[in-house]
Amino acid sequence: TSISNRLDSCITCIEPDTDPAMVLVHLACGSDQLVARLTSRSANQLNLQVGNKVWAQIKSVAVVR
C-alpha cells in the first residue's frame, strides 16, 4: 500500500451517514478523534464493532478538515 500514515485506534461509535450506502466510524486515537466514512458493505465485511482496535490508515490527499 502507498499509505504510510497509520494510527493505532479504537472504534467508539458507528453511525449511519446521510448517504444510506455509507457509515461514519468514529475513532479514538489517543487523545485525538477521527471520523472515517466508508461503505456499509465494507464495514460489514470487516465486521467492524464498537470497541474494536483498528489501524486508521490515512492517505494525505483524502483528508478533509
pLDDT tens, residue by residue, 4-42: 788 999 999 999 999 999 999 999 999 999 999 999 999
Per the domain annotation, does 59 fall within a domain?
A: no
Per the domain annotation, does 25 fall within a domain?
A: yes
Per the domain annotation, does 38 fall within a domain?
A: yes
Q: Is-above-0.75 flag for pTM? A: yes
Looking at the structure of the chain, the number of domains it has is 1
Strand segments, DSSP code E, in 1-65 are 5-16, 22-29, 32-39, 53-58
Per the domain annotation, does 35 fall within a domain?
A: yes
Local confidence band at 58 (pLDDT 50, 70, 90 cut-offs):
confident
Per the domain annotation, does 28 fall within a domain?
A: yes
What's the CATH number where 9 sits? 2.40.50.100
pLDDT at 61: 65
Domain assignment of residue 11, given as a range: 5-54
